[in-house]
Amino acid sequence: MTSLDRRALLALLGASAAFPALARPAAAAPAPITMWRDPGCGCCTEWAKRMEAAFRRPLRIVDAPNMPAVKQAQGVPDDLRSCHTALVDGVVVEGHVPPEDVKALIARRPAGVRGLAVPGMPAGSPGMDVGHDHRQRYQVFAFSAGGKRSVFATHG
């Protein structure tokens, strides 16, 4: 190896040590969050803004005139349904679930859990807290594909 080749090699090694991003492939960007909603629902947009801010990635809103079909396809139990349905990293999110609960479920990944749901539209939940001071106590339920459910968190 000539001294010129040796210098070029040392320069390349030095650059890769100084800039580690050059030495390894870039990580894949996380998939966008998808949220299906009834086209006329405004509270869903407020919830979507919270999710985008919490997860720091885009959220794609899909106006779906047949929401019962979306909920059925995602495996949301009838009694846990709300106004919108989302998919985040393979986890189904039904209704006004706080972003921190979604993050906690994704971090833990308990076996058999398909998603989280806040049935109805409780006042004070994310997206339902705009324009009024009333707060309701509400529960976030974890549910499985087989219909099993448990209380994941309580708020309010």
Q: Is 134 a member of any domain?
A: yes
pLDDT for 15: 47
Q: Over the stretch 107-136, which tens digit does the pLDDT of each residue have?
A: 999 999 999 999 999 999 998 887 767 789
Residue 66 makes CB contacts below 8 A (sequence gap 6+) with none
Show the tokens assigned to 124: 């004070």
CATH, residue 80: 3.40.30.10
Q: Is 2 a member of any domain?
A: no
Between helix 43-55 and helix 99-108 the angle, nearest 10°, is 50
Among 136, 115, 117, residue whose Cα is nearest residue 125: 136
> 100 near 123, Cβ under 8 Å?
no
Counting the structural domains of the chain, the total is 1
Q: Reduced to 3 states, what is the DSSP secondary structure of residue 85?
A: strand
Residue 109 makes CB contacts below 8 A (sequence gap 6+) with none
Which domain covers residue 141, as residue numbers? 29-155
pLDDT for 19: 46
Q: What does the buried/exposed string (b/e) look like for 100-121 if buried means 16 or more CB atoms within 10 Å of the residue's CB?
A: ebbeebeeeeeeebbbbbbbbb
pTM: 0.80
Q: Over the stretch 28-62, which tens digit does the pLDDT of each residue have?
A: 788 899 999 998 887 889 999 999 999 999 999 99
Q: Is 62 a member of any domain?
A: yes
Q: Is 20 a member of any domain?
A: no
